[in-house]
Amino acid sequence: GAVVSQHPSRVICKSGTSVKIECRSLDFQATTMFWYRQFPKQSLMLMATSNEGSKATYEQGVEKDKFLINHASLTLSTLTVTSAHPEDSSFYICRAERGQWGTEAFFGQGTRLTVV
């Protein structure tokens, strides 16, 4: 099956710094990638939809200036958490879809962000 690689898998950063998370589709082109946030034992919360070559579409309540998304190529999307605070500590997951109508969805392994 298709592989989506997310990096890093775990990161600890100081409050006030920025952290970049990468999501790559290794063997297919993903025109659309999605970024989720997951709290412990809770559901996935869609943060934004990232389309290659255009601005990301953010869900209501997600600060676009805080969570910067860049989808520069068909195989790479990045999420940058700017000026991180402890409340940003969470598990972030990306998802990429293959096919024109996104008939298959593949998830990255997730990034555990801890802001101290």
31 binds other proteins (CB under 8 A): no
SS3 label, residue 62? coil
**Residue among 14, 41, 53, 61 that touches other proteins (CB under 8 A):** 41
**CA 8, 11, 16: angle at the middle one, nearest 5?**
125
Q: CA 80, CA 45: separation in Å to the nearest integer?
A: 17
15 binds other proteins (CB under 8 A): no
Q: Which of residues 44-73 bind other proteins (CB under 8 A)?
A: 44, 46, 49
Q: Total residues at the site for other proteins (CB under 8 A)?
A: 17
95 binds other proteins (CB under 8 A): yes
79 binds other proteins (CB under 8 A): no
Pairing of β 4-7 and β 104-107:
unpaired
In the complex, the smallest distance separating the C-beta of residue 25 from other proteins, rounded to whole angstroms, is 14
Pairing of β 10-13 and β 111-115:
parallel
Q: CA 70, CA 51: separation in Å to the nearest integer?
A: 9
Binding residues for other proteins, per CB under 8 A?
34, 41-44, 46, 49, 93, 95, 101-102, 104-105, 107-110
